[in-house]
Chain A
Amino acid sequence: MARSWRTLDIVTVAVLAVVSGVVFWAWNLVWTATGPVFAAFPPAQALLYGVWLVPGVLGMLIVRRPGASLATAFLAAAVSWLLGAWWGLSVLWYGVLQGVAPELVFAAGRYRAFGRASSVLAGAAAGAVPGLLDPLFWYPEWTTAWRLAYLATCVVSSAAIAGLGSVVLADRLARTGVLDSFPAGRERAGV
């Protein structure tokens, strides 16, 4: 696999981050609107969390270069900061960690394994970051049981949505031809 980044790779990562920012903005509305549904048991709202962790996995599946997970997740966080998410700059800290976690999984596969298993694992790793940090910073009054439930929900949601979801998404994108300049697109073309 090529290790050096082309201009196309950098722009693609930035553009993925921008799309994520726009989609997150819409997803924030969903998150807020569904708040009452989870009022009885707030940790269950983490089921929706996986959407925020898609960039770190999807960026790597498309660009396939060392650092792609970290770069995409961090820039996606920066975009949602610029869009004025109330989380403010703390999204940047989250963004870095949510990028480092899947990056480590892909690095452990020596940046050669981009299949379903690695992606699900990378998604789960990314999900553990907010699963651990959110109760620490924002919900210090929760009991240990709630915290564990929250962590588990985050990991499962992220493994499904960010992990498996990114594989499906990358595959469907490849079929449209927009990934023809990337390894993911060339594999599909069977060349």
Chain B
Amino acid sequence: MPGARIAARGWGYRYPGRPQALAGVSFDVRPGELVVLAGASGSGKSTLLGALAGTLPVGGSTGSLDVEATAPAGSLPVGLVQQEPESNIVMERVGDDVAFPLESAAVPPARIWSRVDAMLRIVGLDEERGVGPDRPTIRLSGGQQQLLAVGAACAADPALVLLDEPTANLDPESAAAVVGAVAAARAGSGSTVVVIEHRVEPWLALADRVLLSAHGTVSAHRPGDLPGLVASDPDLAGRVWLDHAHLPRRVPGDRPGAAVLEARGVTVPGRLPPTSLTVRAGEVVALTGPPGSGKSTLLSCLAGLLAPGHGTVLVRWAGGQDLDPWSWPAARIAEVFGIVFQDPEHQFLTGRVADELRHGLLGAGLPDTEVGARVDAMLRRLRLGALAQANPFTLSGGEQRRLSVGTALVRDPGILLLDEPTFGQDPATWAEVVDIIGAHRDAGGSVVLATHDPHLVTSLGARVLPLPGPGPTRAGPSRPGRQPVAAGRDSRTGTASGLRRLDPLVLVTAAALLSAAALISRSVGVNLGLAAVAVLAALLGGLAPRQVGLLAIPAGLAAASVALSNALLSQSGITSPLAWQAAALPATRVLAVALPGLVAAIALDPTALADSLVVRLRVPARAAYSVLAGLRLLPLLADEWAILGRASRARGIGGAGPAARARQFTSMAFRLLVAALRRAGRLAVALDVRGLRSGSDRTVARPVTAGWVDAAAMVGGVLALAGALATRL
């Protein structure tokens, strides 16, 4: 299918209630061209991309922006890849994620899977390369997730493919793979491609045209003219990565001093092989290595935020007896270390920029005037003076990065620990970060940083500690973590084993009937019978006896606690056998209510449940799949909760008392909400662009079937409910 033709004539846009975002934009893009769009953050790049994707609020535009494209049957108008890998994924399995836009385009199921296989080959995620359609998406590395996003964006043959900083969060090798995948995908389709990127270098060889956004408008240029333009405009040079020849250098002068921090054989099972390291005063150590090699894990161990499985960490700088930072209270951690997390938003604790810096000086015993002076000095140094009263979460990416470095530095700590401090930054912020790190080192401080950025290492003349990769797995680096539930079902045939053979709607309904029966039953015998049915179904349905045993433990404890609570407050008194006899009913009720649900939760395939809701109950596809995509964030947010715990400790929050715990709990819950709501916004865009917006004629690629087992399960559930009702008569 031919690519889209884009024509902008004096186009402008203004968000409701905001100043004009863009004005006077005129350019042409011919079908099949690849266009790179570059410029400062906040200069309107995302606004233009949103207009092309059709995700901007209607109204507010002036002039004309025409996207001429034909969208024949079986195709979607637009494909989109966003910056954060997680926000591009809407389904639980790789194959289903690529199938999703094809389902939206109402491609017949029989043709969907051959297209999915072809797409996975093009982007390099096929089974020969160790991934394949059945791999759970959560087990992909960030780079693989972006390759998948490219595959899904191009699957339904869109006339226009839009990429919003697709490589900003990736290491150089993964970024090159993404550029290669885009080149391969467009070679087959002839789509027009628009890429927003700070790092334009790897795209220039493919580009037919460069659009620069600056000073409230957008101008079009030939790729060959870009070096000259950047050389003549210092503002542009601070915003666009073109070459690395003129980067500032802050190599060390003096030889490093005494050892301040030591790791001996530090190991975290599954995440970090045994590693030893000595950090000296006045030096910068760079931890490098492929994704998953344990760089962030080692940093957390060094900072006393994570207990190593084996080995020891010793802080020589702090002096005194107690040198192991894991044993320290949070306040002492914040005093000795300045810690910067990969995502600045994980570590913001207050509602104002100035308060963020002030928080870093709490407990330092400084007079108020001194605190104020230090905060002001830091605001000036970070060029954040005008934003002192702003909410930290509203800052741009570069401003947030500078602020997070500031919160680490304001207390003047001996040791700076930084996780990917230059990720996704433009050249101007990059140079500032290098400057700050260099100055800290030259003043006798120590710095350990985890980084993918080879230029950062060279610019600082850092000592490199390479961490080996996570071992040669066939699939390359993939995210470690819990085993997801996605395994055990074949998307294209719908075949599954054990309890998964049941239609998921039947599975949930039958379990709900059993637990409803338990709620109303008045017989200890019936309760025990219902619990036994659940255990039997689990064992016959393919769960390991050990797994079933693990399920029963918390339910058993809960039953015991309910029994105790009833006996304690019983009118006959806790010593009377009558009290315990009466307590047996609610206690067995807990068991019988809990077990069917626990078994069903383990056996449930959420994707199949959504399909079944759409096909059988005619639930609107938009509702079912939006909820499904949101629920997919569960394991991610659970991991994020652990990171927030470490970030709290890094900033001196936490402790043993109930008040300290309550404060930490609320602050973590709040930051988790902010992170989750941000993701919700991006996920909704991904779903809409993949054709969920219209949601009229979808096909479902995975077969939805039911058989005699389903009928038997339903009959069983109804009989159980009837039996329980009989106990009340």
A contacts, CB < 8 Å to B: 5-8, 10-19, 21-23, 25-27, 30, 35, 39, 42, 75, 79, 81-84, 86-93, 137-143, 146, 169, 172-173, 175-179, 181, 186, 189-191
Contact = CB atoms under 8 A, between A and B. Distances in A.
Contact of B596 (A22, A23, A89): A89
B670 A87 contact: no
Nearest to A146: B569
Nearest to A19: B676
A22 B16 CA distance: 35
A172 B554 contact: no
B17 A22 contact: no
Nearest to A58: B673
Nearest to A191: B17
A15 B676 contact: yes
A139 B601 CA distance: 26
A26 B641 contact: yes
11 contacts: A16-B676, A16-B677, A18-B676, A23-B672, A79-B634, A81-B597, A86-B555, A89-B596, A89-B597, A138-B586, A176-B391
Contacts of B623: 5, 10
A6 B569 contact: no
B627 A75 contact: yes
Contacts of B600: 89
A65 to B, nearest CB: 12
A75 B585 CA distance: 29
Chain A CB within 10 Å, residue with most, of B579, B680, B683, B688 = B680
Given A42-B565, A79-B634, A178 B674 contact: yes
Contacts of B393: 175-178
Contacts, number: 198
Contacts of A7: 622, 626, 684, 687-688, 692-693
B497 interface: no
A91 B597 CA distance: 10
A90 B597 contact: yes
Contacts of B673: 16, 19, 169, 173
Interface in B666-690: 669-670, 672-674, 676-681, 683-684, 687-688
A175 B593 contact: no
Contact of A90 (B391, B515, B606, B622): B515
B665 A30 contact: yes
Contacts of A81: 597, 601
Nearest to B565: A42
A174 to B, nearest CB: 10
Interface string B596-617: 1110111010100000000000
B156 to A, nearest CB: 18
A143 B569 contact: yes
Contacts of A87: 558, 593-594, 597
Contacts of A173: 670, 673-674, 677
A79 B594 CA distance: 15
B633 interface: yes
B634 A82 contact: yes
Given A8-B680, A10-B622, A92-B597, 15 more contacts: A7-B626, A12-B684, A18-B630, A84-B598, A88-B593, A88-B595, A90-B519, A93-B519, A138-B586, A138-B589, A141-B582, A142-B566, A173-B674, A176-B351, A191-B16
Contacts of B677: 12, 15-16, 173, 178-179
A84 B623 CA distance: 24
Given A86-B555, A173-B674, A79 B593 contact: no
4 cross-chain pairs, A with B, having the tightest CB-CB distances, nearest first: A14-B630, A191-B17, A88-B597, A89-B597
A22 B519 contact: no
B554 A86 contact: yes
A75 B631 CA distance: 9
A93 B516 contact: yes
Most A CB contacts (10 A, CB to CB) among B565, B622, B623, B678 go to B565
Interface of B: 16-18, 351, 391, 393-394, 511-512, 515-516, 519, 551, 554-555, 557-558, 561-562, 565-571, 579, 582-583, 585-586, 589-590, 593-598, 600-602, 604, 606, 622-623, 626-627, 629-631, 633-634, 637-638, 641, 665, 669-670, 672-674, 676-681, 683-684, 687-688, 692-693
Contact of A11 (B565, B583, B595, B683): B683
A125 B285 CA distance: 57
A12 B630 CA distance: 8
B194 to A, nearest CB: 23
A33 to B, nearest CB: 10
Contacts of A172: 351, 670
Contacts of A92: 512, 597
Nearest to B633: A18
B17 A140 contact: no
Contact of A138 (B554, B590, B606, B665): B590
Given A18-B633, A176-B393, A42 B569 contact: yes
Interface centre among A14, A42, A89, A93 (most CB of B within 10 A): A89
B604 A139 contact: no
Contact of B601 (A19, A84, A90): A84
A83 B554 CA distance: 13
Contacts of A137: 519, 586, 589
B631 A18 contact: yes
B590 A86 contact: yes
A82 B605 CA distance: 11
Contacts of A42: 565, 568-569
A60 to B, nearest CB: 15
B593 A139 contact: no
A137 to B, nearest CB: 6
Given A14-B630, A35-B561, A178-B678, A89 B512 contact: yes
Contact of B569 (A13, A17, A142): A142
Among B17, B558, B579, B669, max chain A CB count under 10 A is at B669
A90 B551 CA distance: 16
A22 B634 contact: yes
A32 to B, nearest CB: 8
B565 A14 contact: no
A1 to B, nearest CB: 16
B543 to A, nearest CB: 13
A19, A27, A190: residue with the most chain B Cβ atoms closer than 10 Å: A19
B568 A18 contact: no
B669 A23 contact: yes
Contacts of A82: 601, 604, 606, 631, 634
B598 A88 contact: yes
Contact of B630 (A17, A91, A143, A189): A17
Contacts of A181: 681
A141 B638 contact: no
A154 to B, nearest CB: 15
A11 B682 CA distance: 10
Nearest to B695: A7
Contacts of A79: 631, 634
B684 A141 contact: no
A88 B678 CA distance: 30
A181 B555 CA distance: 42
B219 to A, nearest CB: 29
A5 B597 CA distance: 30
Contact of A178 (B583, B594, B681, B688): B681
Contacts of B634: 18, 21-22, 79, 82-83
B672 A86 contact: no
Nearest to A42: B565
Contacts of B582: 140-141
A76 to B, nearest CB: 11
Contacts of B631: 14, 17-18, 75, 79, 82
A175 B670 CA distance: 12
A91 B519 CA distance: 12
Nearest to A176: B393
